[in-house]
Structure 1
């Protein structure tokens, strides 16, 4: 018989849920002790953890189901939500348990301020991120859905390089991709148009 080789597996110390996800999970466990609780979308991208919390009583719903709720408690996960979600909650007497990641919340506020400042001057607010992702939907909502979402360099044709551009990023995108997109935009800017970059990527995620 041959010798059995030992395999050593190393787990990166930065693996696992980010601090925003951990914060949201802890909040769920805390709030479930107070009574029934809904969560708008999967609490984290991990089926095992979602099932564990659902066995404890968490009820996961989508946005259509959310609109039908009344007099309920709903937790918003770390990805954040657009303003419309809070407006629906107010109309339907829904108590919001807000577990939005502080990094995402800060980005939402920054984009909102930028939108209000440049709403009428032709500046393009661009978000480098995954179209349809919950976080990106929340960021778009800060601009009344007027921001331009770019998933990659092949979509740069959507931009008008003769007008000012302010570039933000979904917090979980790669730094390399963000700066590559930024440089490609800079090379195509025309006339007096200015490019403003905001590195809004979460380092805990990007360093994995």
Structure 2
């Protein structure tokens, strides 16, 4: 049985940058705090915990003084920086440059929408760290939509500026865009101006490019094993791409979840993962699958 790891899977630049910053800081510190999971992968979080990285939430941040706190790739809202100044906390800012640029764009659009009584709509996962940072640029007034049903919160008699969380599905974004466009046109009885509706595809290209790559990869193998943390929004989106192309696609967090029956009569297994999946974990899964195959080889 041939086992192949997708060379395009694994950490995106932003996640890799944040983890490297954490490891660099931990070389000279016994403890480094991180606001939220540094990456949506429990295996990697545990590895870094052993090095001294301690995950905290926003309530715990309020109690800290005179220490260092890492801002992960997802970015943070303005109030986090204000609190850090107040409590003499040194922030190690590992916000992804793509996310920071998007925050600036959202803030600019929010200011413009204020002038025309418009709305900023963000296609994303409610409560996701990146989305919290983005809505923070709008005084928490942005409308977050995850499904078409969420569009009932939008007032289509007013202008709309649309953005997307950087790790969401491209297909999902354009579906939401079309639905908003249709309802705005219905309200106005005709064509829309840029002021009526401004849609911005702000999905990270390093993420969106993985969809066609994974689509091809999934077709090339009998079985697909997708490795990702269950909390990863990007993981859910990319796994759905695999499932669309190959019904024998399985989602696991680590090698302990592998089932031998998945590989009966299989000649080719493809292993892939999310932008938050470390390569060392996919390699471990590959090694385990090869070991399972060796155990089931008939003895002669």
- Please show how residues 12-51 of structure 1 align to structure 2 within 5 Å: 12-35=6-29, 36-51=31-46
Residue aligned with 2:3, SS: coil
Alignment: residue pair count: 202
Matching residue within 58, 61, 82 for 1:63: 58
- Please show how residues 129-208 of structure 1 align to structure 2 within 5 Å: 129-189=124-184, 190-191=187-188, 194-208=196-210
**After the TM superposition, which of the residue ranges 163-172 and 55-64 deviates more from structure 2?**
55-64
Q: Deviations over 1:68-123 (max 9, x none)?
A: 00001000000001001111101000000000001100000100111122224211
**After the TM superposition, which of the residue ranges 166-175 and 8-17 deviates more from structure 2?**
8-17
The structure whose residues are more often helix, as a share, is 2
**Matched residue, 2:233:** none
RMSD: 1.2
**Matched residue, 2:118:** 123
**Matched residue, 1:92:** 87
Q: What TM-score do the two structures reach when normalised by structure 1?
A: 0.93
- 1:9 Cα shift? 2.3
The higher-RCO structure (CA 8 Å, 6+ apart) is 2
Contact 1:80/1:100 (<8 A) preserved: yes
**Matched residue, 1:52:** 47
Computing the radius of gyration from Cα coordinates, the structure with the larger value is 2
- 1:161 Cα shift? 1.2
**Matched residue, 2:222:** none
CA distance in 1, matches of 2:83, 2:14: 24
Contact 1:107/1:200 (<8 A) preserved: yes
**Matched residue, 2:280:** none
Q: What TM-score do the two structures reach when normalised by structure 2?
A: 0.65
Gaps of 5+ in 2: 211-300
